């Protein structure tokens, strides 16, 4: 699909989230191939690099001391410990993307998305879900990148995370074998929000409720709370 986006539309901080195994990595990798004004933020992590992953492209792989040092400098827009490993969204990457007039695309877990909502209420949160839980379990087991115990833990966590869908602005089903359809739907959501929000506005102020904040989805570097 060839969607054009108004050059005068405000920049957005877009968060792609969902339970482990839902296909966030595949979706974002496909989005990178589209000629859109998007800057993909590379998450920092202390976990070990998986086969075929590229440092600085798929993740910024850090040692625990390196991660702690950046955290002490308020260098993360959000950070969390997930399955025993630290993850964080580098603040400077988001600020640079928005300052350059590009939409910042962040891939993160459900916990991280909730933190970003607090830091930047104007962010656009998209929740990926599997067609059904049995399919999610199959994907996790076939990935073979975790121990059997870790897989069971991820399945339990995924069931809990699925209940948090109401916290997100949009829910997109990532059907098996229909990656293009998933990406097309996300692209449409972003284009629609950019057209709907042509005039940048500040973050949520006192007295505004969640619904009012969601109607103000434009983002700028100054919107990122510290």
pLDDT digits (tens, 9 = 90+) for 26-51: 999 999 999 999 999 999 999 999 88
* Domain limits for position 136: 13-41+103-218
- pTM for the model stands at 0.81
Supply the CATH number for residue 112's domain.
3.40.50.300
Residue 11: DSSP 8-state = P
Is the residue at 200 inside a domain? yes
pLDDT digits (tens, 9 = 90+) for 11-29: 999 999 999 889 999 999 9
Is the residue at 94 inside a domain? no
CB atoms within 10 A of CB 165: 13
pLDDT digits (tens, 9 = 90+) for 126-182: 999 999 998 988 988 888 777 888 888 889 999 999 999 999 999 999 999 999 999
Quick check: 20 and 146 in contact, CB under 8 A? no
Residue bearing the bigger pLDDT, 92 or 142: 92
Lowest mean pLDDT among 76-80, 106-110, 158-162, 193-197: 193-197
Which band of pLDDT confidence, cut at 50, 70 and 90, is reported for residue 219? Answer: low
Lowest mean pLDDT among 30-34, 39-43, 104-108, 204-208: 204-208
Is the residue at 184 inside a domain? yes
Strand, helix or coil for residue 16: strand
Which band of pLDDT confidence, cut at 50, 70 and 90, is reported for residue 208? Answer: very low
Quick check: 86 and 64 in contact, CB under 8 A? yes
Which ranges of 43-164 would DSSP assign to H, the alpha helix? Answer: 64-72, 91-99, 110-119, 133-143, 148-162
Is the residue at 134 inside a domain? yes
Beta strand 124-129 with 170-173 is: parallel
d(CA 210, CA 212): 5
pLDDT digits (tens, 9 = 90+) for 62-88: 999 999 999 999 999 999 988 789 999
Is the residue at 205 inside a domain? yes
Is the residue at 176 inside a domain? yes
Q: How far from the centroid of its chain's Cα atoms is residue 28's Cα?
A: 9
For the residues of 70-104, what is the DSSP string, one character each? HHHTT-EEEEEEETTEEEEEEHHHHHHHHHTT-EE
Domain count along the chain? 1
The confidence score (pLDDT) of residue 173 equals: 96
Is the residue at 47 inside a domain? no
Is the residue at 177 inside a domain? yes
151-159 long-range CB contacts below 8 Å, 24 or more apart?
153/83, 154/19, 154/20, 154/21, 154/83, 157/19, 157/20, 158/19, 158/20, 158/21, 158/22, 158/133, 159/133
Of the candidates 87, 113, 104, the one whose C-alpha atom is nearest the C-alpha of residue 165 is 113
């Amino acid at each position: 699909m060839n969607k054009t986006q108004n050059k005068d539309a405000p920049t957005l901080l877009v968060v792609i989230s969902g339970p482990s195994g839902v296909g966030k990595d595949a979706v974002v990798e496909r989005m990178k191939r589209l000629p859109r004004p998007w800057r993909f933020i590379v998450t920092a992590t202390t976990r070990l690099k998986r086969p075929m992953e590229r440092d600085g492209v798929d993740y910024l792989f850090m040692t625990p001391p390196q991660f702690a040092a950046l955290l002490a400098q308020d260098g993360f827009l959000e950070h969390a410990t997930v399955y025993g490993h630290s993850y964080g969204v580098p603040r400077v990457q988001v600020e640079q993307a928005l300052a350059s007039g590009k939409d910042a695309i962040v891939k993160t877990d459900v916990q991280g998305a909730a933190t970003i909502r607090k830091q930047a209420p104007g962010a656009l949160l998209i929740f990926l879900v599997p067609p059904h839980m049995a399919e999610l379990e199959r994907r996790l087991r076939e990935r073979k990148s975790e121990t059997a115990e870790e897989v069971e833990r991820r399945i339990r966590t995924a069931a809990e995370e699925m209940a948090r869908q109401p916290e997100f602005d949009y829910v997109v089903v990532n059907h098996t074998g229909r990656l293009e359809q998933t990406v097309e739907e996300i692209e449409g959501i972003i284009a629609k929000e950019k057209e709907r929000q042509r005039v940048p506005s500040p973050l949520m102020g006192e007295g505004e409720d969640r619904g009012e904040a969601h109607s103000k989805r434009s983002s700028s570097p100054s919107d990122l709370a510290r």
